[in-house]
């Protein structure tokens, strides 16, 4: 594990390394228990850290209605719009 090897880093160096390599994925309990391995193309990139969303508290994340909820709704709407476009192309 790269994070725990090598010389000791300053906090700033360690934090930069950590955030660069962070691979946080939000999935539902049902998706998690399915055992499915998702392809990168199936994933939606989370907002950058400086947008102050999706605070992590271990194995869960804080979702506020007026912050993360709004962002999630926009992402859902985009997915639905793309599905409609794709379905229309097959008709």
What pLDDT score does 72 carry?
93
Domain regions of the chain by residue span: 2-90
Per-residue pLDDT tens digits for 7-28: 888 999 988 888 787 777 778 8
pTM for the structure as a whole:
0.58
Per-residue pLDDT tens digits for 23-80: 777 788 898 899 888 887 778 888 887 888 988 777 778 889 999 999 999 999 988 8
Q: Kindly give the residue spans of alpha helices, DSSP state H, lying in 1-91.
A: 11-21, 29-34, 68-90
Helix/strand/coil for 60: coil
Confidence of residue 89 (pLDDT cuts 50, 70, 90): very low
Asked if 61 and 76 count as a contact pair (C-beta separation under 8 A), the reply is no
């Amino acid at each position: 594990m790269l994070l725990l090897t090598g010389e000791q880093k300053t906090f700033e160096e360690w934090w930069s390394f950590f955030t660069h390599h962070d691979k946080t994925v939000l999935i539902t309990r049902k998706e998690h228990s399915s055992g499915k391995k998702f392809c990168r193309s199936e994933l939606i990139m989370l907002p950058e850290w400086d947008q102050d969303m999706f605070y992590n508290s271990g194995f869960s994340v804080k979702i506020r209605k007026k912050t993360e909820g709004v962002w999630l709704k926009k992402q859902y709407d985009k997915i639905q719009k793309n599905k409609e476009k794709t379905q229309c192309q097959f008709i």
